Amino acid sequence: MSDALLQLRNAVIDGRVKELEALTSAALSAGLTPKEILDNGLVQGMQVVGSEFKEGKKFVPEVLFSARAMQVSLNILKPLLAQTGTKMVGKVVIGTVKGDLHDIGKNLVGMMMEGAGFEVVDLGRDVAPEKFVEVVRRENADILALSALLTTTMRAMDQTIKMLKEANVRDAVKVMVGGAPVTADFALKIGADSYGSTAADAAEIAKKLIHAS
Amino acid sequence: MQAEKPRAIIACRVLQSLIEPYLLQALTAATFMEYGLHRTPALMREALQERIDRIKQPSVIVLGYGLCGNGLVDLKAGIHTLVVPRAHDCITIFLGSHERYMEEFSSNPGTYYLTKGWLESGSHPLREYQDLVEKYDREAAEWVIDEQYRNYSRLVLVVPDTGELAVCRDQACKVAQFCAARWGFRYEERVGSDKFVKELVTSAPWLQESTHDFLVIPPGGEIKQEMFWHEQSREKGWEGTAR
ipTM: 0.90
A198 and A174 co-located in one domain: yes
Q: Are residues A121 and A187 in the same domain?
A: yes
Indicate yes or no: CB of B69 within 8 angstroms of CB of A180: yes
| Interface contact flag, A104 B148, Cβ < 8 Å | yes
Burial class (CB in 10 A: 0-12, 13-18, 19+), B202: middle
Indicate the residue of B67, B152, B243 with minimum beta-carbon distance to A191: B243
If asked whether residues A138 and A200 sit together in one domain, one would say yes
Kindly write down the DSSP assignment for every residue of chain B, as one continuous string: -GGGS-EEEEEEGGGHHHHHHHHHHHT-EEEEEPTTGGGSHHHHHHHHHHHHHH--S--EEEEE---TTTTTTT-B-TTSEEEEE--SSHHHHHHSSHHHHHHHHHH-SSEEEE-HHHHHHT-SHHHHHHHHHHHS-HHHHHHHHHHHHTT--EEEEEESSHHHHHHHHHHHHHHHHHHHHHH--EEEEEE--SHHHHHHHHTGGG-SS--SSEEEE-TT-B--GGGG--TTT--TTTGGG--
Does residue A152 share a domain with residue A180? yes
pLDDT digits over B28-81, tens only?
789 999 887 887 888 899 999 999 999 999 999 999 999 988 899 999 999 999
B137 and B84, same structural domain?
Answer: no
Task: With CB atoms and an 8 Å threshold, state whether A183 touches B70.
Answer: yes
B233 pLDDT higher than 90: no
Task: Tell me the β-bridge partners of B217.
Answer: B82
Residues B23 and B138 in one domain: no
A149-196 pLDDT, tens per residue?
998 899 999 999 999 999 999 999 999 999 989 999 999 999 999 999
The residue among A83, A117, A132 that closes a domain is A83
Query: Model's pTM, two decimal places?
Result: 0.89
Q: Are residues A108 and A180 in the same domain?
A: yes
Query: In terms of domains, do B123 and B166 share one?
Result: yes
The mean-pLDDT minimum among A57-71, B190-204, B224-238 falls in B224-238
> Are both A102 and A196 inside the same structural domain?
yes
What pLDDT digit, counting tens, does each position of A12-54 carry?
999 999 999 999 999 999 999 999 999 999 999 999 999 999 8
Query: Based on the number of CB atoms within 10 Å of its own CB, is B209 exposed (0-12), middle (13-18) or buried (19 or more)?
Result: exposed
Q: How many domains does chain A have?
A: 2
Contact A180 B41 (CB under 8 A): yes
Domain that holds residue A11: 3-83
Tell me if A3 sits within 8 A of B126, measured CB to CB: no
Pairing of strands A143-147, B60-64: unpaired
Burial class (CB in 10 A: 0-12, 13-18, 19+), B62: buried
Q: Name the domain count of chain B.
A: 2
Tell me how far apart the alpha carbons of residues B94 and B193 are, in angstroms, rounded to a whole number. 6
How wide is the angle at C-alpha A52 spanned by C-alphas A47 and A57, nearest 5°?
A: 160
Q: How far is B85 from chain A (nearest CA, A)?
A: 15
Give yes or no for B133 touching A (CB within 8 A): no
Residue B169 structural domain: 97-191
Mean pLDDT of chain B: 89
Distance from CA of B199 to the nearest CA of A (A): 23
How much is the mean pLDDT over chain A?
A: 94
- For residue A116, give the CATH number of its domain: 3.40.50.280
Same domain for B112 and B133? yes
Residues A168, A139, single domain; the answer is yes
pLDDT greater than 90 at residue B17: no
Q: A48 and A108: one domain?
A: no
